Amino acid sequence: MNDERIEKKILLCVSGGIAVFKAAALTSKLVQKGYQVKVIMTDSAQEFVTPLTFQALSRDHVYVNTFTEPNPEKIAHIDIADWADLVLIAPATANIISKLAHGMADDMMTTTLLATTAPVMIAPAMNVHMYDHPAVQKNMTLLKEYGYKYIEPNEGYLACGYVGKGRMAEPEDLADMIDHHFISQNNQIWHGKKVLVTAGPTQETIDPVRFFSNRSSGKMGYAIAEMAAARGAEVTLVSGPVSLKEPHGVSVIPVRSAKDMFDVVHREFAKMDVVIKAAAVADYRPKEIYEQKMKKTNGDLHIEMERTNDILQSLGGKKTSQLLIGFAAESENIEENAKKKIQKKNLDIIAANSIAEKNVGFQVDTNELNLYFSSGKEVAIPLTTKREAANLLLNEIKTLLEER
C-alpha cells in the first residue's frame, strides 16, 4: 500500500465549522500514512482551531492570507495550487461551496481552488436544513458538473442539536477515500471490471431462536471487496451476517443462509468478470426446520442434517470467461486439499490457509495465504494484515486480467 502514496501531495482546505477538529485528526492520519500535507485555513476556521495546530500536525507552513508570501520568488496560491496531487475541502461549509460554484476568489482558499488543476474532493459539513436548502443543493450539483467529487456527509447528531444529514465524514473514512483515489489511478485495468465477492458465515436455521453457523467474521472478504473497489472495480459484496462496516463504493447484498447465498451468486454470476468466494458457507443444514421453539427434553437431541449446494463447484461448472477464485480454510494437508479443489471446482486460483495456526483465519485481523493457480504457479503471502493480504491477492488477479 505504501508505494501508492510515495510523494503524493494533499492540499487540505479547511473552512469554518465545528468539524475543523476532524480536519486536524485527518491531517495527522494522512501524515502517518506517508502523504505530504499542506493546509489552507479560512478566517472562520481559525476561530475554531489555530493554524499552529495544523502546522504541528502537517509539519509545514499553514496558509491563511492571500497577501502573505513566504517565498518572494513564488506566488503562494499559484505555487500550492500547482503543487497538489489532490485537493480536499474538509470541512466544506455552505459558504465555501457557494463561493466555489460561482467562481469567487476573495481569500487564500478560493483563489487557490480556482487556480488548481488537481482533482478536488469536497466533504460537506453543515446543519441538515442548510444542506437540504435548494440553493446549496444547486451549488453542489453545479460543482459535480464541473467534475468535483463529493464525500457524502453522515447522518447523526449535529453540533446545533439537530439530528440528520450534515455531519462531515469521519477522518478514517476521508483518509480511506484518498487512498482509494491514488490506488485507482495506478490500476486502470480494474476500471469497469465487475467483481463479485462473498464474505462471512451463513446461518442455517433450526428453529426461531437457534441456528448452525461458523466462526467466520467476514473480515477477509470485506477487505478484498474494499481493495477491489479502491482499484476502480464495480464490486458486489454478497455478505452473510457480520458486524462490519460496509466498505466504501461497494454494493452490499445481505444474505443469511447457504441457499440465500447460492441464489444471489448465481443470479449475479453471468455479468461478472471476477468472482472471489471468500465466504465460509455451511456444508450442511438441518433437514427439518421447526416453526416453534424446540423445548428441552430428557436425553440427547439428534438433528438430521442434509448437504447444501456447493456454490463454488456449481460456478466452476458454468463459468465462461470469468476468473473464479476460491478460499480453502484447512486444518491439515493444506496443499493437497487445495490442489484437489482447483481441479474439482474449475478454479483459476485457490487461496488456502491453515486455521490451526495462531493469528491466521477466523476472527482475527491477520492472515497467511498460499495461492495455488490452475497453471501450476504458487505464491506465498506471509503473515500480514487481511487488508494487505487482499491487496497482494488482487495483484495476482490483476496479472491474470492483463494476460487475458
Q: Catalytic site residues? A: 160
Is 341 marked within a binding site? yes
Q: How many CB atoms lie within 10 A of CB 46?
A: 17
Q: List, in order, residues 6 or more apart from 56 with CB less than 8 Å away.
A: none
The Cα–Cα gap between 64 and 50 comes to: 11
Instruction: For cell 489532490, name the residue.
Output: 86
The Cα–Cα gap between 64 and 109 comes to: 8
Instruction: For cell 447484498, name the residue.
Output: 253
121-142: b or e for each residue (b if 16 or more CB lie within 10 Å)?
bbbbbbbbebbeeeebeebbee
Q: How far is CA 54 from CA 96, 257, 374, in A?
A: 20, 49, 52
Q: How many CB atoms lie within 10 A of CB 145?
A: 9
Beta strand ranges found along 136-219 (DSSP E):
149-150, 154-157, 163-167, 194-199, 204-207, 210-212
Sheet of strand 62-63, all strands in order from the earlier edge strand to the far edge: 62-63, 36-41, 9-14, 86-92, 120-124, 149-150
Is 344 marked within a binding site? no
Is 345 marked within a binding site? yes
Extract the C-alpha cell encoding 161: 442539536
Q: Which residues are annotated as a binding site?
A: 283, 293, 327, 341, 345
Please report, in range form, the residues annotated as the binding site for CTP. Answer: 283, 293, 327, 341, 345
